[in-house]
Amino acid sequence: MSSRPESALITGGAGFIGSSLVERLVNEGTDVTILDNYTAPSGGRVIDRLSKERKVKVVKGDCNNSDDLKMALLGVDTVFHLAANPEVRLDRASESACFRDNVSATFNLLEALKRSSVTTIVFTSSSTVYGEPTVIPTPEDYGPLVPISVYGASKVAAEALVSDYCKSFQKRGVIFRLANIIGERSQHGVVKDFVGKLRDNPDALEILGDGSQTKSYLYVDDCVDGIITGVMQGQDQVSFYNIGAKDFIPVSKIAKLVASALGLSGTRQVFTGGVDGGRGWVGDVKTMLLDIRKLTELGWSPSRTSEESIELTARLIGQLSPNRTGS
């Protein structure tokens, strides 16, 4: 069993998952530094407050800048590497941006870690590394990994880099493959998209694909609990853990849940038909459910189902969204 980090750097600490992790670590007494370029600061208000209270140190910079990394790593024993381009869809993020933000940034961070005081690196990967597995639920030892998106491929590459650097330079690595993580501060994804569309038009909701895409959704607090459990309880030099809900849910049902959470009834679902057999976009995995037994055996368990996480997230985002329709 590992001890609680005394001092930690969270890259992407002003982001959605990062800001929740920062809050958790600060509350548990860890000295926290964040490195974030603030291009998508969904947790920026939280971090600004903690910074003003002198509970966190903020380095506004980028993992691709060696000077920023050098400043952020001073006195740190654990790095939580969450900084990444989160977009799976190529119409929202180019291949080059995905490589720069997910692969190159990870490489530069690992280069900076080689001779630093850091003993442990924690990396948030993705269920997309599995591509379209033939085993559902999918365990961590499933292979070969054949991602079907540039995003998934970038995460496979980053995982390999983390594993190699930990083995080569005597560091400890903990790699988490995340399902769809959702919550009040999330800035992209199906729940956020549906809330926005329903605010614009409560009568009809466009749904990408044929509606049969079925995936697992986990509330962000459960995700952070899982990360902390894996870091504290993991034994191997390089450990891999899936984090997700115990169930999965089709996107057509998500649409109904979101509409209901916003107080709407009778909303018509309009399916685009999608691409390549009903996918929402090129690279969209149609079915995803992770086998989470490896992490639950360490004492972690999600407190909500996918449906409960979606309903909670939709209510919270709906309260924050401007109501232009009067509904």
Domain ranges, residue 119? 7-181+219-243
15 neighbors 31 (Cβ within 8 angstroms): no
Q: CA separation (Å) from 260 to 62, 125, 143, 202, 304? A: 40, 32, 39, 11, 18
d(CA 39, CA 41): 6
Interacting residues of 220 by C-beta distance below 8 A, sequence separation 6+ = 16, 17, 20, 181, 182, 183, 185, 186
Q: Do both 21 and 47 map to the same domain?
A: yes
CA distance 122 to 234: 11
Q: Is residue 254 part of a domain?
A: yes
CA dist 160 and 37 (Å) reads 25
Same domain, 165 and 30: yes
Q: Are residues 41 and 171 in the same domain?
A: yes
47 and 11 in contact (C-beta within 8 Å)?
A: no
Same domain? For 28 and 173 the reply is: yes
Tell whether 106 and 165 lie within a shared domain. yes
Percentage with pLDDT > 70 across the chain: 96
Band of the pLDDT at 304, cuts 50, 70, 90? very high
Residues 70 and 84 in one domain: yes
203 and 66 within one domain? no
Q: Is residue 295 domain-resident?
A: yes
Q: What is the 8-class DSSP label of residue 132?
A: S
Counted domains in the chain: 2
Give 5-51 pLDDT, tens digit per residue.
999 999 999 999 999 999 999 999 999 999 999 987 788 889 999 99
Better pLDDT: 4 or 92: 4
Q: How far is residue 201's CA from residue 196's CA, in Å, rounded to a whole number?
A: 9
Phi and psi angles of residue 41, each rounded to the nearest 5 degrees, phi first:
-85, 70
pLDDT of res. 324? 39
